[in-house]
Amino acid sequence: MKLSEYTDYDAIGLAELVANGEVTSAELVELAREAIAVVNPEINAVIESWPASESGNANSRGGPLAGVPFLIKDLALSMQGKKLELGSRLAQGVVAAEDSLLMSRFRAAGLVTIGRTATPEMAFSTTTESTLQGATRNPWLPELSAGGSSGGAAAAVAAGIVPLAHATDAAGSIRVPAAYNGLFGLKPTRGRSSNGPWLDEVFAGFGVQLGVSRSVRDSAALLDAIQSHAVGEPYVTAAPERSFLSEVIREPGKLKIGLLLDPWNGEHTDPVIAAATSSTARLLESLGHTIIDLHPTLGVSWDAFVQMNATIWTATLVGWIEGLAAATGRPVDDTTLEPATLACFRYGEEEKASGFAAALAMRNLVTRSVGAWFEDIDLLLTPTLPQMPPVIGAYGAGAESMNGFEWTQRVFRHSPFTPPFNVAGVPAMSVPLEMHPATGLPIGVQFAAGFGREDTLLRLAGQLEQARPWANRRPMLWAGRRSE
């Protein structure tokens, strides 16, 4: 198999070739490593890679993803014997002693993990430009951000290095880079899979894990692979009646879909992105769905919403940073942390227990408000992001003069459509249906559903993938093209 052929397949397609004996998993791994050599110097998505012999996967179980090369994000899960640095100088060189539960699920699915992808420091950004690992660039236009915090994962998949990669999402970190890089990105329901055993609810239940992919069915198969509960889980979501993969080819029926074009912060979406989202609404109507304009409320003001997130995020960050400092013997200062992270740490140190309790009470208000939306509609359609990707370096400008709350305001202003669904714990997805008419850059649209309703999202995503295919769209930096 040539590299140009390898990059044409999604993960399930590659697994079928392995199962049929047409190619070996080891051959696929070498092709993935060749792809890294071809495009990674220009995008800086993969920060470490290793041969199949170091993946630790015996590939003993068959399945729709068995034998497929895979990458893990440098955050939130651990792979025994491999570094876990969280994009931070504070954690530089830290090696995981054991697999996390999610990593064990990836192994059981037969995925062959061959490397780590870049993340912003502690994932507290929606661009991927850390001091430790450098900037990850967008394969569609390298001077632009690849998004974050799963920017390395998204850039690697978009450039053809692997067909899918692990990603996390606590405020949009799957959906934001999926939108910027022209990928499918599904944020699962809270409690769908485990963050354990060393992490529990991650930012009071906001953080979940799955991946980014070029096809809907790959993300569905990955969700099947990680759906699980372990002893002591803080949240448990019931297993689905059918496999998520089977939902992709099921008809969604006639859905009632709310349409929201401008975010809750009172600002306006870029007219091109608003028009693209409206174009998706027209496509949905042509498929028989009902679209209604909707202006749902969060149950709290936008400023209060951001304050709640700042409190929960920064207070949680304090424990992470103090734990890393104790483990490494390094100081917590500007020699180990970036200005924004250090500001968030200091802000979190000043938070009181009463303030954290108040934030949890506000989380309850938002969760109940968002949950009530889906009593009247099946799905909510929004832009994934209100603006196109920023140029590298623009996002962090002036961070050295900000406090932790001001940095949180910047993060949430950049991505206002995504975090309410993390707070509420409901599933949401970014679908790469649209393109910028002038630049050809991808534009993602977001759909959110009620608690536990990934099935509805996946059915619609499968229908949309057929109605407006994106599989043959290729970015400027594409491993298959560069190898020819």
Catalytic residues, by residue number, are 73, 149, 173
What is the enclosing helix (H) or strand (E) of 71? strand 69-73
β-strands 129-130, 164-169 pairing: unpaired
In the chain, the N- to C-terminal Cα span, in Å, equals 13
Q: What does the alpha-carbon distance between residue 151 and residue 169 come to, in Å, rounded to a whole number? A: 11
Q: What is the DSSP string of 13-62?
A: HHHHHHHTTSS-HHHHHHHHHHHHHHHHHHH--EEEE--GGGS-----S-
Distance of alpha carbon 129 from alpha carbon 136, whole angstroms: 6
Q: What is the DSSP letter of 291?
A: E
Among 96, 111, 332, 106, smallest CA distance to 198 is for: 96
What is the per-residue DSSP string for 125-167? SSS-EETTTEEPBPTTSTTBB--SSSHHHHHHHHTTS-SEEEE
Quote the tokens at residue 86.
Answer: 């969280």
Number of H helices, E strands in the chain: 17, 13
Surface-to-core class of residue 405, CB atoms within 10 Å of its CB (0-12 exposed, 13-18 middle, 19+ buried): middle
| Of 86, 49, 8, the residue nearest 328 (C-alpha) | 86
| Short-list 57, 59, 35, CA closest to 45 | 35
Pairing, β 208-213 against β 184-187: antiparallel
Report how far apart, in Å, the C-alpha atoms of 214 and of each of 11, 154, 200, 217, 432 are: 9, 10, 29, 9, 9
